[in-house]
Amino acid sequence: MGIFKACDVRGAYGQDLTDDIVYRIGRALGTLAGGRTVIVGGDVRISTPALKSALTRGLTESGAEVLDIGTVPTPAFYFARHYLKADVGTMITASHNPPEFNGLKLTLGTLPITEEELDSVGRLAESGHFSHGNGSLLTTDIIPAYESFMQSVAPRAAQAASFKIVIDCGNGCYSEPAPAVFRSFGYRTEELFCTPDGTFPNRSPNSAAPESLAALCRKVRDTGAHLGVAFDGDGDRVAFVDDRGRFLTSDKAIVILARHILNNNSGVKVVYDLKCSSVVPEAVTQAGGIPIPERSGHTFIKTRMIVEEAVFGGEISGHYFYRELRGGDDGLYSALLMAGILAAGGCRLSDLADSIAEYATTPDIRLPFSGDGEQIIARIADHFPTADVSKLDGVKVSFPGGWGLARISVTEPAITLRFEAENGDRLREIVDVFLEPAPELHEPVVMAISHAASGESGDDT
């Protein structure tokens, strides 16, 4: 099944992802659950109720005890698994993808699901070798307990009443819980797109795309707010806008959060996305932490967080992970933490952002490619000294003053590339050297970089 990706299940509803397919996935998951309780939640997408019905039917027919926690943000789903003491679960969501998509985030145990486990679910769903039983379906409202948990773990600032924040929920899952929690912390709040609507009529559910947050940037400037926060469709990602109405890159957000967390935690580990700017490991080291690179993806970062017992983790797409959340990520917790840092310290996000070094970094460059992408990756890796090459995810080559990265996309037939250097001239040099063993990629990469520089770049989903 092409809908099975590296970390989850994802596809266009009614085409790649149908009610019947999800029913069969429910039968497979129920078979693997072996009569255990299975937590099921869903996002606000129009297709979610039908998919949830098909999933729960499959689960119960395989003998599972299903506990439906309703329409919730993904972080509340992960909280529910721990709170309700149930390791197996499914969140129906396509996260930041466009409205016509949907998907499943599956869990089978205490650690995030692996690619091998996902493959086993897919094979079982195709084979039809299901267990049979007469399971049950109960419902519960997890949001009050989740909100109480946020109020107990997130930092509070005595200065909250003088701190103004604009909350852009993008009509997604946090539309009701996020403003309520921020008000309970005493912050002055302005709401933007905080009515749940699975068609996402006001902006893309992808909060990591700066062009999606134009309305939030204007609102912050027009209201004189200290901070803007934007959540993606299911709430596990968050993006920040500073007091000048500027989008804050995730690299800088990771640095600000890491410096705060490491202030009283020297010698501890911080996991970061392999695609992050070099400013991230440099800042972690300077703050007394131990930076640990990991391949992009929720499953990989969270698993590394747990295995390494790290205090913090950051992914370039806007996922931030915490020891306090058992290695998990939570957009609302991250927003509360950032607001607390600024309000308690009496500092402006714009000043913190401007104090962080910037390198010349390209966005993700996605080149459609139907040939043997792995052969190209191997060609690049073999061309450079082994000491300069990382194969953690594709191939990343370190050069004096920068690096280049090429990897196979997990969502489409494409090669994804990214480059960074200390300045624009060095960036062009690194691109040329990195692509010497793959000359067929050189022209499209140079064109993509040129388009990005002129504001024509697209989003990496």
CB of 338 closer than 8 Å to CB of 227: yes
Smallest Cα–Cα separation from 110: which of 307, 280, 269, 331?
307
Pick left, alpha or beta for residue 401 (phi over 0 → left; psi -120 to 50 → alpha; otherwise beta).
left
DSSP 122-184: HHHHHH--------EEEE---HHHHHHHHHHHS---TTGGG-EEEEE-TTSTTTTHHHHHHHH
272 in Cβ contact with 314 (< 8 Å)? yes
* Beta carbons of 196 and 174 less than 8 angstroms apart: no
Residue positions counted in the chain: 461
Which active-site residues does the annotation give? 10, 95, 319
Other CB atoms within a 10 A radius of the CB of residue 436 amount to 12
∠ CA 404-448-453 to the nearest 5 degrees? Answer: 95
DSSP-assigned states of every residue in 374-432 = HHHHHHHHHHS-GGGEE-SSSEEEEETTEEEEEEE-SSSSEEEEEEEESSHHHHHHHHH
Helices (H), 162-267: 177-184, 214-223, 250-262
Strands 164-168 and 312-314: unpaired
Residue 266's alpha-carbon distances to 20, 33, 147, 324, 337, in angstroms, are 51, 41, 30, 17, 19
Distance CA 199, CA 45 (A): 7
Q: Tell me the Cα Rg of the chain.
A: 22
